[in-house]
Amino acid sequence: MSEDKSSQSPSQQDSSLQEDSSLQENQEVLAADDLRVPEEDAASHEERVVRGVSAVLRAESARAASLLRMPTVDRKRPERRRLLTTEIATRTLLWVVSTALVLSYVGIAVWVYTQVDVPEVLGLSESAAYELLEESGLQVQNVTRRLSDAPEGQVIDQYPAYGVAAQRDDSVDLVVSAGLGGFSLPSVIGDDFADARIELENLGFTVALEYLPSEAPEGSVLLTLPPSGTRFSEEDDLDHARIILYVAAPISSAGLIAYQLNGLQVAIEPRFTSTVAGDVSFDVARRLSSLFEAAEADVTITRASREREVEPDEFAARASRAQAELHIIISVREEGPSGILIRSVEQDEDSTARAIYERMIENQLSAHTVRVNEPFGQAGENNSLEIVLGSTANLEDIENFDSNFWRDHVARAIYMAASPQFALD
């Protein structure tokens, strides 16, 4: 017991002495009470025992409380650190603004570097214009040739115009003078139609495509209208000149039968009508001519595209010189009913006129036949006929005249109806 007390602190030792003293006193009280038990009755003795036990419990509770009492600790709460100071926020804002400014300056610098002004190349030769544009970071895309009194090969127009702002590697289109001496239509026979189209469009022509059944490589050019070698001069308006490329297509997909008309002499007489824009009779004649030529017939169109007024006797003389075996006149009337009119002397079931009429009806073309009494044409009564395409007084006919599909439809109907009359077995 003494060893346990020596290990306690002074304050704990004092507290223990006080508790031992109280315990001793309580024991003495109990002992004294016990000596007097016999003298008192049982009730008084029980009461004193309860008081003694209570005193002992109070002493033990006080001792336990003194052992559990902990010293007060004075803790200072540390200051909470601020996550973002004013100084850091200011620096961050300045960095963001400066970065944005730098990026904007870089963008402006790049834009200024890539932007160029289109130089003026008017009056330069084609090769000099190419060189100047390439030095400026631009490239030439399309070159169109126009008849002009400027020296041949000189640039007479450009797009975009001089001084227009452009970006590096942008394209410039040039128009180059073809001179007044004119030029000949180059041959594109056998070329792929896409390459031929680009070549002719660069010369200033409008190019149209027609497909013909052929055993030639699909997509190759079979013939052109006008034919290769045709001369164009200052009298021709190239802006409205059109070249038709007849392109090879598989026989099964072209919708036409490849008749063999070897050596057949065909004269096509397109009569000009000044009230119809586009010279529809001549256009149908060109389409029809190409179909016959693809079947190896010899075709003569008895009027040039630039001719307007040709006397009837001159037409007859040209057809006669062609020794026509089939003479087809194509015209437009200025009044009368709508629809296609087929005029001929012979209207029998086996006549060419009747075959053409039936084919047009089969192709859902509005057509009528008219028998004439006086013979005309240079191929005899059965093989000379006039096809009147319609009336300029009728709105429906005028709409048809403007339709390339309708023009092609008419030409194909004539070809498909007339060819069996002369085809070789």
pLDDT digits (tens, 9 = 90+) for 364-407: 678 888 877 776 776 676 788 899 998 888 888 888 888 877 88
Confidence band of 24 (pLDDT split at 50, 70, 90): low
Closest residue by Cα to residue 290 from 208, 381, 234? 208
**CA 255 centroid distance within chain:** 31
Kindly report the CATH class assigned to 116-177.
alpha beta
CB atoms within 10 A of CB 114: 13
Count of C-beta atoms within a 10 Å radius of residue 331 = 18
Q: Which helix (H) or strand (E) holds 421?
A: none
Span between the terminal Cα atoms of the chain, in Å: 147
The number of residues in the chain equals: 425
CA 21 to chain centre: 111
Q: 177: closest CA among 144, 146, 142?
A: 146
The beta strand positions in 127-194, using DSSP E, are 139-146, 155-159, 165-167, 171-177, 183-184
Kindly give the residue spans of alpha helices, DSSP state H, lying in 155-299. Answer: 193-202, 251-254, 280-294
251 or 139, which is more confident: 139
The model's pTM is 0.44
Instruction: Please give the residue that has the higher pLDDT: either 326 or 43.
Output: 326
More confident residue, 336 or 377: 336
Cβ-contact 287, 244 below 8 angstroms: yes
In whole angstroms, give the CA distance from residue 367 to residue 344.
14
- The yes-or-no verdict on residue 101 having pLDDT over 80 is no
| pLDDT of 3 strictly over 80 | no
For residues 418 and 414, give the distance between their C-alpha atoms in angstroms, rounded to a whole number: 6
pLDDT band at 35 (very low <50, low <70, confident <90, very high): very low
Conformation bin of residue 416: beta by default, left when phi > 0, alpha when psi is -120 to 50: alpha
pLDDT band at 1 (very low <50, low <70, confident <90, very high): very low
User: Which residues lie below 8 Å from residue 195, measured CB to CB, with a gap of 6+?
Assistant: 188
Map out the domains of the chain as residue ranges: 1-40, 116-177, 184-255, 256-425
130 neighbors 172 (Cβ within 8 angstroms): no
Using alpha carbons, select from 153, 168, 167 the residue that is nearest to residue 121: 153
Residue entry with tokens 């904007």: 104
Cα-based torsion angle of the residue sequence 281, 287, 288, 289 in order, rounded to the nearest 10 degrees: 100
Query: Vertex 125, ends 124 and 131: CA angle to 5°?
Result: 85
Report the C-alpha gap between 123 and 144 in whole angstroms.
Answer: 15
Supply the CATH classification number for the domain 184-255.
3.30.10.20
Lowest-confidence segment of 127-141, 235-249, 319-333 by average pLDDT = 235-249
Confidence of residue 74 (pLDDT cuts 50, 70, 90): low
- Residue 268 has a pLDDT of 92
The highest-confidence range among 124-133, 172-181, 182-191, by mean pLDDT, is 124-133
- Decide whether 116-177 matches 256-425 in CATH topology: no
Contact 158, 173 (CB under 8 A): yes
* CATH architecture of structural domain 256-425: 3-Layer(aba) Sandwich (3.40)
Q: Please state whether beta strands 171-177 and 139-146 pair in parallel, antiparallel, or not at all (unpaired).
A: parallel
In the structure encoding, which two tokens stand for residue 109, read together?
């610098």
Percent of the chain residues past pLDDT 70, beyond the cut = 69
Say which residues have a Cβ less than 8 Å from residue 166's Cβ, sequence separation at least 6.
115, 116, 117, 118, 138, 160, 172
Question: Which residue is associated with the tokens 């309580």?
Answer: 26
- Mean of pLDDT values over 191-209: 82
Most confident of 19-28, 38-47, 72-81: 38-47
Per-residue model confidence (pLDDT) at position 22: 53
Question: How far apart (Å, rounded) are the C-alpha atoms in residues 168 and 259?
Answer: 55
Q: Confidence class of residue 54 from pLDDT cuts 50, 70 and 90? A: low
